[in-house]
Amino acid sequence: MKIKISLAICFLSLCFYIGFVYFSFDSKDLFKGTYSKVLLDKNKEILSVFLDANEQWHLESEFIPQKLKTAVVLYEDKNFYSHYGVDFLAIIRAFKNNLFSSKRSGASTISMQTIKLLEQNKRTYFNKFNEIIKAFALENAYDKEEILRLYLNNAPYGGNLVGVASAGLFYFEKDLKNLTWSEAALLAVLPNNPGLINLEKNKDKLLKKRNALLDRLFEKGYFSKDILTLAKAEKLPSFKARKNLAPHLARRLLVDKEKVISSIDKKIQIKFEKKAKEYSYKLHQKGIKNLAILLADTKTNKVLAYVGSNDFYDFTTFGQVDGVVAKRSVGSVLKPLLFAFAIDDGLIAPESLMLDVPTFFSNFAPQNANKKYHGFVSAKESLQKSLNIPFVGLLSEYGYEKFFYKLKDILNYEDENFKKYGLSLILGTKEFSLEDMVKIYLGLGNYGNFKEILYEENTSIKKDKKLISDGASFLTLQTLKGLDRVGLKQYDFNTIISWKTGTSYGRKDAWAIGTSPKYTLGVWVGNFNGEANANLYGVSIAGELFFELLGLLDGLNLEFKQPDDLISIKIENQTGYRYDYRFDFKEALYPQSANVLRISPFLKEIFIYENKEVNSLDENFIYAKKKIILNLPPNAQAFFAKEKQHLQSSNQSLKIIYPLNNLNIVLPKDLKSKQKLLIKLINPENEKLFWYLNQELIFEGKEENLALDLKKGKYNLNIISESGMNDFINFNIF
C-alpha cells in the first residue's frame, strides 16, 4: 500500500513539473469571446443581455459575493485555498475507492473543473490527466480568487444558463451582491446537478442537496439557527423570462463589443420605459403609434435614459426602429439656435421688434401655425409664440447658407446642399434626429459650448466648439424659460426648464425639447411609417409626455446663472434696437462679446416742410424740420392699412408686393390641372388702377389682389394709378 501511495506522489510530482514547464495562460480571461453580449448601466447593473453564439445566456460577473465563495468552496473543494491545483489526498482517496469499492468518487478540484469547462472534453482518463497537468499551470498563472471567479462565470446552471450571474438574473432576478444564504447554497450545488432544476420530479433531490449544504454551513458557524430555518424555508426558483432595458441602445453599442458599461441610470431608465408604455396607450387612442425619448446630463453630456420606441418587441408598430436616431422633420425646434446666433451677430436683442405680417420671400410665403399675424412683435415674444414669419425674415437677414453651415459644424452631417432648403430650413424642412436636437439643446445649456453626446460611462469629451457667447445662450435660455405652458399647468410643480416644442409640416412629427442645469430632455412623438395625424401637436402631445417625464426627476428647481459676459446697454424704446441721440432709450442686457447691435431697420429720419418730405436738393430744405418716422416695407404698409393701424410711414405709394421682380414661377396644378397666379399689391390712396400685362390693358379697378390665368412664358406687368403713380415687374412662368 505504501508503494502505491509513493507511486501516486511521484506521478503527481511529474504532472506538476510538466504543467509548470510546458503550459502557460497568457489571457487574463481564458473564456474571453464566449460570453453573451451585455449592456450595463453606469453602476454596472445589467440593462440588456443577448444569447451567445451557442444560444446560451452566458454572463460574466467581476464580483463574486463572499457568501457564494464560502458555499462553493465548502461544497466543491474544501481544500481549495491550500492545494496547488490538485488535491493529492482526494486523488489518493478516489483512486483507492475506485480500486477497492463499488462506490465511485471524483477528485476534481475547482481548478481542474475550470480547465474542463474551458476545453469541454469528454470524460476519459487521458483528459483527466490533461486537466491535472493544466491545473498546475492555471494555479501558477492566476491567484485563487481569479480561478474561483473563472469557474463560477463559466459553470452550467441548468437549461441554457451558463455562469453564476446568468443564474442570479434568470432565477432570482437580482444582482449577486444581494444573494441570500439559501440562494448561495443553491448556486453552489447546481453546477454539479444543473439538469435537476428543469425537472420537476427531481426538485426534491435538489432541495435535499441545498439543505444539506446549508446544514454544513451552519455547523461551520457561518450563520445562526434562525437564519438556517429561514434559508431552508425558501422555495426553489424557476426560470424567469425577462425583457431587456434600453434594447435600442444595446443593439447600437454592442455591434463590435462584448460588454459595455453605459452611462444609463437604470432607475431612471425603468421609470422612463414604464411611462413611455403607459403614454403609448393614450396615443394609440388618437391613432399615434410611436414615440422616442432621450435624457442627458447637461454638465457631462452623458445619456441617462434612452427609449428608442414605446415597445421594442411590438413588430406591428415597427417597435425595433430606433426613434432616437431616425431622421424626421423638426418643425420649430431650431428657432432658439437662430435666436442666439442672431443676437451674437448684432441683428437683434430680445426686446427688438420684428415684423409678423404676410410676406413673400421670393416664391416662399410662410404662414404662422394659427394663420394669424401680430404686426410688430418683439424677438422674445416671437420665439415664445414660435412665430414663423419673423424667424424666416430673421434667417433671411442672418443668411440661410451661414446658418446651414453653423448647423453642420454642430451636427457633422455630410449634406452640402444648402440651396435645397433655403429659408424654409428654419421651419424644419431638413430632417434631423432626436439625438441631433438634444445635442443642440445641450450646447445651449452649456452656454454655447457644443460637444459630442456620450453613451459610455468611462468616456470623456475630447473637445468642444464654442459657437455662441455665454450671454446670447443665457438670453435664449431665459426666453425659453418663459414659454407659455398652455394646457400643461398641471405639470408645472417647481419645474424650471428652458424648453421648446415643434410640429412638423403636415402634422407628422411632434417635438418637445428642453434643458436645465441638471438635465436635458428630448421627446419625439409620431408614426415611424410617416403617417400624418391631426392630433400631432408639439405642445399638447409631445409637451404632455415631456412634463410627465420631468415629474419623475429631481433637481429641476435650479436656475441657469447669469454669466459675466452680459452687460447693460441702451436701446431705443420704440423698436428696441441700438440707441442714438435721436430717440428715447431703455436699458437691456446684451452680450459684451457680441457684434454691436444694429440701428433700427424700421425707423427713418426725414425732413418735413409744409407737411411734405423734402431732401437737400429742395430750395426749402433749410426751413425743413427733422422727424423720425416708421420706414416700413410695402407688405407691412398693406397689412397695417388693412388692419386699420394708421402708422405714420414714409414711401406709402403704389407697390406690387407679389410677384417680385425677375421672379421665376412654377405654378402647381390643381384638380383641373390649372392654377392661377395671384398678384398682390398695395394701393394706399385707394385709387383706380390700370393693369397692363405685356403692354395690353387687362383690368381697371381699385382691387389690390387679382388672379391671372397664365400660360408658360415671359411677362411684364405695369400698374398705373389715376394720379400717375406706377410700379412694374418682369417675371417668368414655367
624 against 471, higher pLDDT: 471
Q: How far apart are CA 335 and CA 331, in angstroms?
A: 9
Mean pLDDT of 151-158: 93
- pLDDT tier at 22 (50, 70, 90 boundaries)? very low
With contact defined as beta carbons under 8 Å apart, do 207 and 157 qualify? no
User: Average model confidence (pLDDT) for the chain?
Assistant: 87
Nearest to 460 by CA among 307, 325, 263: 263
With contact defined as beta carbons under 8 Å apart, do 340 and 468 qualify? yes
Nearest to 183 by CA among 171, 194, 193, 192: 171
Cα first-last separation, the chain: 111
Position of cell 410688430?
Answer: 376
Q: How far apart are CA 167 and CA 220, in angstroms?
A: 26
DSSP line for 485-536: -TT-GGG-TT---EEEEEE-TTS-EEEEEEE-SSEEEEEEEE-TT----TT-
Of 50-59, 101-110, 580-589, least confident by mean pLDDT is 101-110
Q: Which domains does the chain have, with CATH numbers?
A: 2-233 (1.10.3810.10), 243-331+430-466+480-563 (3.40.710.10), 602-652 (no CATH), 653-733 (2.60.40.10)
∠ CA(348), CA(353), CA(359), 5° rounding?
100
DSSP line for 111-156: HHHHHHHHH---S-HHHHHHHHHHHHHHHHHS-HHHHHHHHHHHSB
Position of cell 438556517?
Answer: 228
Percentage of the chain beyond pLDDT 90 is: 56
658 against 293, higher pLDDT: 293
Whether 293 shows a pLDDT value over 70: the answer reads yes
With contact defined as beta carbons under 8 Å apart, do 682 and 638 qualify? yes
pLDDT at 85: 82
Q: How far apart are CA 173 and CA 446, in angstroms?
A: 39
Percentage of the chain beyond pLDDT 70 is: 87
Of 87-91, 564-568, 670-674, 723-727, least confident by mean pLDDT is 670-674
pLDDT at 2: 54
Whether 684 shows a pLDDT value over 50: the answer reads yes
Whether 494 shows a pLDDT value over 80: the answer reads no
b (16+ CB within 10 A) / e for 118-148: beeeeeeeeebebbbbbbbbbbebbebeebb
Give pTM, 2 decimals.
Answer: 0.82
Whether 386 shows a pLDDT value over 80: the answer reads yes
Position of cell 387612442?
Answer: 285
pLDDT at 200: 56
Q: How far apart are CA 522 and CA 116, in angstroms?
A: 51
Amino acid at 141: A
pLDDT at 369: 82
528 against 365, higher pLDDT: 528
Mean pLDDT of 418-438: 95
Of 162-176, 198-212, 470-484, 545-559, least confident by mean pLDDT is 198-212
